[in-house]
Structure 1
């Protein structure tokens, strides 16, 4: 009876996601490459393990380790640190080393694959220590989700290293029959997780704008001085003019990188000013303006959906999450709640004629 290997099923599912998101233009090229690498590896796994084709058994470890550096380069691109294409060529050393092991030192193949996945996963976790502000190309309406998704991808790479270690242990302990099962399920699960995480809306594409005149990163002072606090305050005043005056927060594609370009400053300098002046990261700061805008729209009689789209949120899930974080209630609850139960800083002043009595509902 004809059967389809699980890795082929995973590749078909990820192919559908890739084509759909590329047609919609919602997937950045580095993430599309990551999805493509996962799709290719699923096919290679099936041809090597399920159909037993010798040439693909040799190729399988090489194509497998390509997923890790591709994930790393996708993260660096999201952090605005993609660099020159030649820099990415250095990461070809990982698959090249595994290919060398296949040809000259077969006993070292498993250790090499484990090391590649573990090292890239750990490096990604270290690179994500700065949180949401370290991803200037991420859409701000996604809130704190982008770094969480990237951390999940990094953890999945480490899980792959653990899965490969389990394969080696099974072979050494004389339970080699488990190898195909672990590869079939462990590797397929890894590819499915990485591919699915890479396609989540939280990592959705924000159109980039080439900025040939970006200012160099400002030198960090050893300690905060009165002059620096003054500069921070000036940046915040300019930000407020952009967000509150020009309603820039209503742009659903807004990113830290684009916001910094409007200010003529490095993205890091903008995030530092917001962090020091408000104690919030950039996405939470901007989404605060959006939520306040949405609250005013709802109070003016507009529907929750119109308020969401008009205030700069692109997805309902992000809107609901940020609205509840800022106001402590869902948008629908806000629409029917008495004024006295709302946060004072988000509630517009009551008109004089309504002060004498309770608000009508």
Structure 2
């Protein structure tokens, strides 16, 4: 879905360009229909990354949006702009709300990415809302008869759209690692609660089981480890795992697992291993993530830690 989103956004930029600058005005009616696909695809891609490995039948109802917009194009053209702005703002706001509720826990993204996936998806959500704002500005410019401003707005938004597409295409931290054995459905959804809740005996039981699993099997050394994989290994719904970690430690799943990884990395550096080797054997696959988490947890860079270990 993420690839489909990127391709659709690129295609929309091309369509806007050839209609606005190359005289293909006969295709103008198609613009709002194809544009309406983008927010729906963004939502579907977000669901695929954060909630479930396999999209459910009810999710596909979002693809009825272009059909509704097409009806408006031919039957109620006067409300097209309002409908499109509402779609972009609505889906963008929905992603932001879900990000807040989940607290940065993505079911099917490698935990090594830390807060980056949430940051990228927040960027996507704001891009959707910004697109709606640009459409509103174009409407106002047309009403005032400022056609030159319309062209300027389109040029700026098209450039920003292409930059966004390039940024997302090059971001390795939003790649989805779907575990084929994970069952979709309500029981495998991440926590809806971002704020810390009081710890209960059930939470402490789950945490003891989780910590035992980490120590016994060292799952944290797998760079592709996901919350969904932990859920399957424990036989506990991932929503309960996420909530237990949040209630007990005040952190999300990614930060909890990365603590184990950094502790392992410290031991490896103390043994004299190189920073790169330590990174790879501690469950990280990118140096930026490793350095960021190491500094967050220890207050030092890996090189500083290594120097202090060699010269106490």
TM-score (norm 1): 0.78
CA deviations 1:204-258 (Å, max 9, x no partner) are 23242233498946999xxx89xx8333222222212222221110000001111
Q: Does 1:72 align with 2:43?
A: yes
Q: Is the 8 A contact 2:104 2:118 kept in 1?
A: no
Q: Is the 8 A contact 1:133 1:271 kept in 2?
A: no
CA deviations 1:312-347 (Å, max 9, x no partner) are 011111000000000001000000125xxxxxxxxx
Distance 1:234 1:85, change over 3 A: closer
Matches within 5 A, 1:319-330: 319-330=290-301
Structure 2 unaligned blocks of 5 or more: none
Q: CA deviation at 1:132?
A: 4.4
- Of residues 291, 296, 299, the one that matches 2:270 is 299
- Name the residue aligned to 1:43: 14
Q: CA deviation at 1:114?
A: 1.2
Greater Cα shift, 118-127 or 74-83? 74-83
Distance 1:137 1:294, change over 3 A: same
Query: Whole-Å Cα distance in 1 between the matches of residues 39 and 31 of structure 2?
Result: 14
CA deviations 1:54-104 (Å, max 9, x no partner) are 332111111112111100111111122476553233223322232222212
Matches within 5 A, 1:277-356: 277-337=248-308
Distance 1:360 1:156, change over 3 A: closer
SS for the counterpart of 1:211 is coil
- Name the residue aligned to 1:57: 28
Q: Is the 8 A contact 1:72 1:124 kept in 2?
A: yes
- Name the residue aligned to 1:141: 112
Structure 1 unaligned blocks of 5 or more: 1-29, 339-358
- Name the residue aligned to 1:106: 77
Query: Whole-Å Cα distance in 1 between the matches of residues 170 and 145 of structure 2?
Result: 39
Q: Is the 8 A contact 2:275 2:302 kept in 1?
A: yes
Query: Whole-Å Cα distance in 1 between the matches of residues 186 and 143 of structure 2?
Result: 56
- Of residues 240, 259, 264, the one that matches 2:235 is 264
- Name the residue aligned to 1:345: none
Q: Is the 8 A contact 1:132 1:146 kept in 2?
A: no
CA deviations 1:98-144 (Å, max 9, x no partner) are 22222122222222211111111111111111344541112111111
SS for the counterpart of 1:208 is coil
CA deviations 1:11-40 (Å, max 9, x no partner) are xxxxxxxxxxxxxxxxxxx21111111121
Q: Is the 8 A contact 2:53 2:179 kept in 1?
A: no
- Kindly report the root-mean-square deviation, in angstroms, between the aligned alpha carbons of the 2 structures: 2.5
- Name the residue aligned to 2:93: 122
- Of residues 230, 233, 246, the one that matches 2:201 is 230
- Name the residue aligned to 2:144: 173
Q: Is the 8 A contact 1:121 1:155 kept in 2?
A: yes
Distance 1:215 1:110, change over 3 A: closer
SS for the counterpart of 2:200 is helix
- Name the residue aligned to 1:11: none
